Amino acid sequence: MKDWTGVLHLEAEERKGKTVAKNVYFQGAFKVMRPIYHDNSGQACYYLLNPGGGYLDGDRYQMKVSLGENARMTLTTLGATKIYKTPKRYAYQESEITLQAGSYLEFIPDPLIAYQNAKYKQKNVIRMDKTATFLYSDIITPGWSPEGDHFSYETIQLLNEIYIDDELVVYDHIKLKPSQQNLRGLGFMEGYSHLGSMLVVGTQSDSSLLDQLYLAIEMNTNDYKVGLSSLPVPGFTIRVFANSTQVIEKIFSDIHRMISEEWFSRKPSFLRKY
């Protein structure tokens, strides 16, 4: 392990209708629990662990996940990702995800909490077969500061690249830098403190699904703002502004449930840990 605070490699495959680990390797401050099977669908659920309790100055994490043909997995965390003060070097995490034909990955980490003077960069690269399905969400939450300022972190940068059959089809880049941006203003957070994003890519996605999502999400409210857009490939992306984590989680949970019932005829498992 060179220059990495923690490394995790997880390779899974489908065996007789059940997703099982083919290879698991982890070292340093990054671990994974044994899989949990919440129902009889054969879909495995893995919980990621950070024994250190948070990301500190200069921490670097690497994760590689690979799903074989028809493998199905839920990947989540055991708690929020906490970014503490990083006075010298930003904390960094990169993930490389490979999805083979017919596979399905739902990557649903707990919220990212950025505390005062935190600098954090995250890069996810997903390489998927055109018949695979990918669901991902993230929530950015401002951490506590002595002055009570919601935007006391220095930089939060999240980058997602999705490739289908080696062609870049989705490039999603969020960079929040309060010292240079008026995050409370128009074009940024517009008076809200929390930001949620969801990406869904799968051949099952079509215009009728987007119509259902529009109807399911209450747009006429002051509690949050939602933007829903289709992608150049079958799939969609959602942005949510709100003032609490729970509001965004509820919206994403409802969408996740609709997709699971519509595409896989099953209800998603309850993943929260509190």
pLDDT of residue 217: 83
Domain boundaries, the chain: 6-190
Tens of pLDDT along 61-95? Answer: 999 999 999 999 999 998 899 999 999 999 999 99
Distance CA 133, CA 129 (A): 8
Percentage with pLDDT > 70 across the chain? 93
Chain mean pLDDT for the chain: 90
Mean pLDDT of 122-129: 98
Q: What are 198-239's pLDDT values in tens digits?
A: 999 999 998 888 888 888 887 768 789 999 999 999 999 999
Over residues 39-53, mean pLDDT: 89
pLDDT in tens, 142-200: 876 666 666 788 999 999 999 999 999 999 999 999 877 877 766 677 888 899 999 99
pLDDT score at 272 = 60
Task: Give the separation between CA 254 and CA 32, rounded to whole angstroms.
Answer: 27
pLDDT value at 52 more than 80: no
DSSP for 112-137 reads: EEE-TT-EEEEEEEEEE-TT-EEEEE
pLDDT > 60? residue 273 = no
Residue 12 reports pLDDT greater than 90: yes
Q: What's the pTM value of the predicted model, to 2 decimals?
A: 0.93
